[in-house]
Amino acid sequence: MEEIPKSHPRYVSLITRERLSQSMKKGLVHETGLIAHGRGEAFDYLIGEKTIPPAEDAEKIAAAVLLCAKNPVISVNGNVVALAAEGCINLAESIPAKLEVNLFHRTDERIEKLENELKKHGAEKIYGTTANAHIPGLNHNRGLCDKEGIFTADIVLVSLEDGDRCQALKDMDKTVIAIDLNPLSRTAKTANITIVDNVIRAIPNIKKWVRKLKDRDRTVLEEMIMLWDNNKMLNDVSSFISKRLNSLF
């Protein structure tokens, strides 16, 4: 890995890029995953590269939704494994939830590499490796899924989505939690709960809320979920970005 001095003002960003670049060379991340990351970085820059209050609220509700679920599934792709493998495994254990690999650029080789990487970090069972079900209406590889995982899940947590799977999952009556730094994306607008935060921060934050809410009465959690207004949260993100930009010039 290239030597990056800790004193560099963009140290965290550069280290993250390096991690993605190495993961691409290992065949975990697809080359277009680097482009997707670049778009994410731009939005992260706009929110100040930290968890903003509307994202913290969404992370709390996401934890409540996951705790109330019957069959929750955390869907991971190449970028998510490269950036947050350990966090996803810890989060899945704390709920508990299943982990499923779901790829846009799906090859047997990448699936195997990602499964091995997750197992190396301590995961026991990974769903989605032999796709035995299909999400109706999706005629690309993201439609391939596991009968015991995403196909029969009631709640699906998705990160770095590329658009139409979120709507297809909602059409199957599932609740979708999406982590997406772009508040304007189709996924962000379609999901039931959108977390406008970097997956690197969002995953451990959801886990923090799972720990805090785990012993709460279920009716309290359900009340919180009922009051959630995703459109209002997206408006709050938009106001946050506008105010922040105005204050910078």
Positive or negative: CA dihedral 177, 80, 88, 212:
negative
Q: Is 79 in the site for ligand PTJ (CB under 6 A)?
A: yes
Sole residue written with tokens 């699936």: 111
Q: Which is nearer to ligand PTJ, 37 or 174 (CB)?
A: 37
Options 31-39, 54-62, 92-100, 143-151: segment touching ligand PTJ (CB under 6 A)? 31-39
- Return the residue of 59, 100, 115, 180 that touches ligand PTJ, per CB under 6 A: 180
How many other C-beta atoms can be found within 10 angstroms of the C-beta atom of residue 247?
A: 7
Q: Is 162 in the site for ligand PTJ (CB under 6 A)?
A: yes
Does residue 73 sit in helix, strand or coil?
strand
Q: Which is nearer to ligand PTJ, 188 or 221 (CB)?
A: 188
Confirm if 178 and 191 have CB atoms less than 8 A apart: yes
Q: Exposed (0-12), middle (13-18) or buried (19+): which is 1, by Cβ within 10 Å?
A: exposed
What is the distance between the alpha carbons of residues 107 and 5, in angstroms, rounded to a whole number? 36
Q: Is 185 in the site for ligand PTJ (CB under 6 A)?
A: yes
- Return the residue of 17, 19, 105, 121 that touches ligand PTJ, per CB under 6 A: 105
Could you list the residues that contact ligand PTJ (CB under 6 A)? 30, 32-33, 36-37, 39-40, 43, 77-79, 83, 103-105, 160, 162, 179-182, 185, 198-199
